[in-house]
Structure 1
Amino acid sequence: MKQTPSPTDYNFRAKDCLLGAQMLFVAFGALVLVPLLTGLNANVALFTAGAGTLIFQVITRGRVPVFLASSFAFIAPIIYGVNQWGIAGTMCGLVAAGLLYAVLSVVVRVFGSGILHKILPPIVTGPVIMVIGLVLAPVAIHMASGRTGDGSAWLVPETTALIIAGVALAVTILVSLLGRGLFKLIPILSGITAGYITSLILDGTGFSATAQAAFDPGALQNWTAPALISMQAVTTAPWFAMPDFTFPVWNLEAILFIVPVAIAPAIEHFGDILAIGGISGRDYVDDPGIENTLLGDGVATSFAALLGGPPNTTYSEVSGAVALTKSFNPAIMTWAAITAILLAFVGKLGGFLNTIPVPVMGGIMVLLFGAIAVIGINTLIKAGTDLMQPRNLAIVAIILVFGIGGMSFDLAIVKLGGIGLAGVVGVLLNLILPAGHEA
């Protein structure tokens, strides 16, 4: 008698293709947001998300129903890195960040998963996550008000920009609060859509042109235009095109800057695997093992960086969709991955994404980067950390000031600073400062 497969077993079926595409739709807004914010190619991000998910499935033997895509934790270092070393140099650091996951997976194999919490407790990961969000706050405000990320030039008149950013932000918040069913899982995509439609309305009514004609840029460069949206990028883009892959070049400074940032998402990975296990009723920490899920995530991240894509991470939105639809079959994520890879070769999709006005992204970023900081705060709260204990106070204070203040050390051949330095210093302080009464 043929045994009926469990709902959580890998079972690849043609009829699940549309369900897989739906999973990609849930992840789509967040997936493309990272490359659009950081200057990376959105089509490459789609390809590496799909390929990374398939790599993860091979390493974890198709056990876990998760989708891997662009990680928000790396937005700040990527923006900084692209400005400092270009995309190719930044990719070298991101390849190394993925390799750190592989190193941690080996450590877990040897010492058990408890070692992660000993080396990287909430007192370190919490403030590092806070720094990642808070460092980006000025970028969010600049873009929401119509300027470039560094605030050096105007892209959209301020009044127009604030209207668009306000709509995008408001819709994102309202959908996350009031949305029902699958709709609740796509607040970012909803916000981007609302901001884009608002931009079209402002263009169609002539408001954009009137505001631009009356706009005074002051001392900043003025790159504003009468229309917010131009479809030239869409019309000139081919229907089918090879994604614009960028290969890494060696850059030790980028490695030392970016690798410590992987500390926080590595710990978050553990929580993500516990969460999807709770949703599906399987213990994925035991089978396929947290050491294998970490390795899969790391290899997927390094592979993405080898082609110029953002680092990958497990997507909680997709896990939410799994819970909502009761679709525990990991093969559905194979279909989501295949769909992402196919869309990566649609040139006009990349052209369309590039027409999204900057204030739309700025509005989303105001919430997103603040939310990252709040996640860091919540990490400390959930751990019951007493921040008034001298040891804890010292660790958190130094991480925050070093990271947000931009402290850097010139180590002769390389420069270590910002978030990377904050992460390294946090780990070292946690290891060397005596525990005292907190033991």
Structure 2
Amino acid sequence: MEKNFVDVHETPAIQKLVPLSLQHLFAMFGATVLVPLLTGLDVSAALLSSGLGTLLFLLITKGRVPNYLGSSFAFIGPIISVSASEGVGAAMLGALLAGLVYVIISAIVLKSGVDFLNKLLPPMVIASIIIVIGLSLSGVAVNWALKDPLNPDVYSNQSVEVAFVTLIVTVVSMIFFRGFFSVIPVLTGMIVGYIYSIIRFPQMIDFQIVKEASWFIKPIDMFDKHMLTTELLAAMSNPGAWIAALVIVPVALVTLAEHIGHLLVTGNVMDRDLMRKPGLHRTLLGDGLATSLAAFIGGPPNTTYGENIGVLAITRVYSRNVIGLAAIFAIIFAFIGKIGAVLMTIPKPVLGGVTIILFGIIAAQGVRMYVENQIDFSNKRNMVISAIILVTGIGGFRLEFPEITIQHIVANLTIDNIAMATFLGIVLHAVLPGKESAYGSKQNEGNQAAQKAS
């Protein structure tokens, strides 16, 4: 059978490698820089920590998990709360400790193994969570496609037009292009969408930030003006900052569900069990150390990105060197102000056009898992559990604990929709009878054949 993908250890030719890496960079850029803009952190530090964190993740996972790490949205609220009351150093201390929580959980998983996860998360539950991960982001993609980029509360036909053009070009590139251009549809769509918006609606793009941006940021200036190492070290000597940091630490338990979901999606895309090889303990360790590293740099905590998993699914190029070069580009762009500023001018409707398909493809991977495992939805148990996971996850069901007070700091802690949907799926599978149905006909037939053979 002819191999129709590029595996993790393979490297495309240089003329293909660069565009493929830029495609991943463009896919993550909008969300990654949005987090520091919302939290008051530095965009250059976010790009630097994103690139370094991704390289560290690839190293720890032995280059077998081609995930890109970008800024995590789950930490936005706690970082803003702690920064306002105790300073940004305390917030970075909390992010540092959140990363160490991942390291501790990684050690537990290494010792206990991942077999318990198969009991907690059968294929039916996993597939439902994967669909939630894709479709719960659909509101973000659609809002970017519908709303005026200069006034996000206002519907805009111009935005719809730009998003539609971007989406159509991306789809045409995927379906009808041949050769190399068939594997860079996201990059093609974004470039065409960007040029189209410049020609048709130049008011969407503010080039003033490009004019004001410096060409180069010297490493010493990056350390003095952008990084927050001094503030973090000062917070470490302040008992009050340690108490404040505890507001941020529990968020790591929330993002843990997202991490596992993304690893399962990536494994499904690549058709291999990444939970066992290189292992969940390695991916947790990589994610945790990347988050702690980001805290030292002054960037937001990192997490694996659904946008880039969508790119993997579209292109079927899993090369770790493609992801690694994308990380290197992010590091370089952190020191080149003009390039970073140009990327920040990409209109939200362009991002909306490509993320509609990127997030949708993640959801489609969950549907594929239903089919491949032959999940029987005439079974009431499967229907009930999947229905609850899908509606609570996609609908945004969450738990909020407002006005949690630690010392004199008031903050909000939210258990987000993905974590809630995962929790409900695990609990329902554990308590309802007939667990074998959640593994599907295919796996049950395999187990029966193995029993007969023995």
TM-score (norm 1): 0.70
Match of 2:432 in 1: 433
| 1:308 counterpart SS class | coil
Instruction: State how many pairs are aligned.
Output: 393
Q: 1:59 to 1:245 in 2, by over 3 A?
A: same
Match of 1:119 in 2: 120
Q: 1:82 to 1:170 in 2, by over 3 A?
A: farther
Letter in 2 for 1:24: S
Deviations 1:86-116 (A, max 9, x none): 9979989977775665455434423333333
Match of 1:54 in 2: 55
- Provide the C-alpha distance between the structure 1 equivalents of 2:348 and 2:275, rounded to a whole number of angstroms: 41
Match of 1:263 in 2: 257
Match of 1:139 in 2: 140
Please give the residue correspondences for 1:105-116 in structure 2 after superposition, counting only pairs within 5 Å.
Answer: 105-116=106-117
- Provide the C-alpha distance between the structure 2 equivalents of 1:361 and 1:10, rounded to a whole number of angstroms: 29
Deviations 1:3-47 (A, max 9, x none): xxxx99999xxxx99887555324222121322565656644532
With 351-360 and 379-388 compared, the bigger mean Cα shift is at 379-388
| 2:68 counterpart SS class | strand
Match of 1:195 in 2: 193
Contact 1:52/1:312, CA 8 A, preserved across alignment = no
Letter in 2 for 1:311: T
2:207 to 219, 227, 231: 231
Q: 1:118 to 1:253 in 2, by over 3 A?
A: farther
Match of 1:213 in 2: none
Match of 2:362 in 1: 372
1:30 to 27, 30, 49: 27
**Does 2:153 correspond to 1:153?**
yes
Q: 1:296 to 1:138 in 2, by over 3 A?
A: closer
Deviations 1:228-257 (A, max 9, x none): 222111010011233956799957676656
Contact 2:163/2:350, CA 8 A, preserved across alignment = yes
- Provide the C-alpha distance between the structure 1 equivalents of 2:75 and 2:373, rounded to a whole number of angstroms: 29
Structure 1 unaligned blocks of 5 or more: 1-6, 209-226
With 35-44 and 80-89 compared, the bigger mean Cα shift is at 80-89
**Does 2:341 correspond to 1:343?**
no
With 416-425 and 349-358 compared, the bigger mean Cα shift is at 416-425
Please give the residue correspondences for 1:45-84 in structure 2 after superposition, counting only pairs within 5 Å.
Answer: 45-60=46-61, 63-64=62-63, 67-70=66-69, 77=74
Match of 2:236 in 1: none
Letter in 1 for 2:53: G
Letter in 2 for 1:153: D
Letter in 2 for 1:160: Q
The Cα RMSD (Å) is: 4.6
1:400 to 384, 387, 390: 390
Contact 2:259/2:304, CA 8 A, preserved across alignment = no
Q: 1:304 to 1:359 in 2, by over 3 A?
A: same
User: How far apart are 1:372 and its partner, in Å?
Assistant: 3.2
Contact 1:65/1:333, CA 8 A, preserved across alignment = no
With 246-255 and 185-194 compared, the bigger mean Cα shift is at 246-255
- Provide the C-alpha distance between the structure 2 equivalents of 1:402 and 1:277, rounded to a whole number of angstroms: 28
Contact 1:128/1:419, CA 8 A, preserved across alignment = yes
User: How far apart are 1:170 and its partner, in Å?
Assistant: 0.8
Match of 1:300 in 2: 290
2:303 to 308, 311, 331: 311
Q: 1:254 to 1:423 in 2, by over 3 A?
A: farther
With 190-199 and 421-430 compared, the bigger mean Cα shift is at 421-430
User: How far apart are 1:334 and its partner, in Å?
Assistant: 5.6
- Could you tell me the percent identity over the aligned residues? 31
User: How far apart are 1:198 and its partner, in Å?
Assistant: 0.7
- Provide the C-alpha distance between the structure 2 equivalents of 1:253 and 1:392, rounded to a whole number of angstroms: 37
Contact 2:99/2:252, CA 8 A, preserved across alignment = no
- Provide the C-alpha distance between the structure 2 equivalents of 1:371 and 1:407, rounded to a whole number of angstroms: 22
Match of 1:170 in 2: 168
| 1:386 counterpart SS class | coil
TM-score (norm 2): 0.68
**Does 2:412 correspond to 1:420?**
no
Deviations 1:370-417 (A, max 9, x none): 333333333333332223433323322222333334434456845545
User: How far apart are 1:200 and its partner, in Å?
Assistant: 1.4
| 1:344 counterpart SS class | helix
| 1:311 counterpart SS class | strand
**Does 2:373 correspond to 1:383?**
yes
| 1:179 counterpart SS class | coil
Letter in 2 for 1:34: A
User: How far apart are 1:423 and its partner, in Å?
Assistant: 2.4
| 1:153 counterpart SS class | strand
User: How far apart are 1:299 and its partner, in Å?
Assistant: 2.6
Q: 1:85 to 1:309 in 2, by over 3 A?
A: same
Q: 1:116 to 1:179 in 2, by over 3 A?
A: farther
User: How far apart are 1:266 and its partner, in Å?
Assistant: 1.9
Q: 1:274 to 1:200 in 2, by over 3 A?
A: closer
